[in-house]
A = this chain, B = another copy of it.
Amino acid sequence: MAQLLDGKHLADLRATKLKQKVTHLKSEGIQPLFCVINIGNDPSSKIYLKTKKRRAKEIGIKQKLFQLSSSVTQKELLSLINCLNEEEKVNGIMIQLPVPGQIDLNEALAAIDPEKDVDCLTPANVGRLWRGDHFVEPATAHGILTLLDYYHIELKGKNVVIIGRSSIVGKPLAAMMLERDATVSILHLKTKKLSEYTKRADVLVAAAGQPNLVTADMVKKGAVIIDVGINRFNGKIVGDVDYAHVTNVASYITPVPGGVGPLTVESLMEQVVQLTRRKHGK
């Protein structure tokens, strides 16, 4: 059985430290304020919003939800973003995904002030990340690296295989893993024979959003398995990895739930606090 990479435990540890930082900021009259824009009524989004709200409250971050109707126009969304950009008190802005079809997401993200872009999705911050000049770090990638560091899992020279090329997980994680001197392969739905790559991975990251995509026969003995998937399957939450069997092959593995998920939320809060501190020259 592989050793569990306990994201929940680490997230709680880090939350305690973060809370102290926030208490200190508050004692200086600084209240971190995090604004989330949600459009429509996606049921998964509702769960994520609730989790973020709870975590923010625990840590002492003020979180404000801007709930927009599913028929909101691009112009209305941009106008809200501009307001939040200009509002002195706002430290972080994020758009909860997914957004409805009439919204041009790239344009909306590009409209966010990079100094308030907690998700690292504005062009300027994505570019800084790829150039090694990090301004903020995308929450999931930051969470995964934090977890690997905590368990002293070295990345230098390792063969890292990432399944999924999304802008919120796969791509930024590739940038950050490369920076740690890993050799990085990015796989996706158009990749022929995933297993040809995964079987040779020292560290395998599954971020495709597909239940049981990674089975035991696709994993090298002793590999480190990071499961980013959060899928509803047969009435419960499962990852992209067939945990029950893969745990017999891997050396380390993240559970779902309780692995990457809690660290993503915690990392997001860390970015809010970091942007707040930077704004105040700390």
Is A247 at the interface (CB under 8 A from chain B)? no
Count identical subunits in the complex. Answer: 2
Q: How far is the CB of A245 from chain B (nearest CB, A)?
A: 25
Query: Do A167 and B130 touch across chains, with their CB atoms under 8 A apart?
Result: yes
| Chain B residues within an 8 Å CB radius of A186 | 174, 178, 183-185
Query: Do A165 and B190 touch across chains, with their CB atoms under 8 A apart?
Result: no
| Chain B residues within an 8 Å CB radius of A274 | none
Query: Do B130 and A171 touch across chains, with their CB atoms under 8 A apart?
Result: yes
Q: How far is the CB of A174 from chain B (nearest CB, A)?
A: 8
Other-chain residue from B124, B183, B188 in contact with A191 (beta carbon distance below 8 A): B183
Take A167-B131, A183-B185, A183-B186 as given contacts and tell me if A157 and B191 are in contact as well, using a CB distance cutoff of 8 Å: yes
Which chain B residue shows the least CB distance to A200?
B196
Is A126 at the interface (CB under 8 A from chain B)? yes
Take A178-B165, A185-B184, A187-B183 as given contacts and tell me if A157 and B192 are in contact as well, using a CB distance cutoff of 8 Å: yes
Within 8 A of B (CB), among A163-183: 165, 167, 171, 174-175, 178, 181, 183
Is A234 at the interface (CB under 8 A from chain B)? no
Query: Do B157 and A190 touch across chains, with their CB atoms under 8 A apart?
Result: yes
Which chain B residue shows the least CB distance to A105?
B131
| Chain B residues within an 8 Å CB radius of A126 | 123, 126-127, 130-131
Is A243 at the interface (CB under 8 A from chain B)? no
Within 8 A of B (CB), among A188-224: 188, 190-192, 196-197, 200
Other-chain residue from B125, B156, B157 in contact with A127 (beta carbon distance below 8 A): B125
Which chain B residue shows the least CB distance to A180?
B190
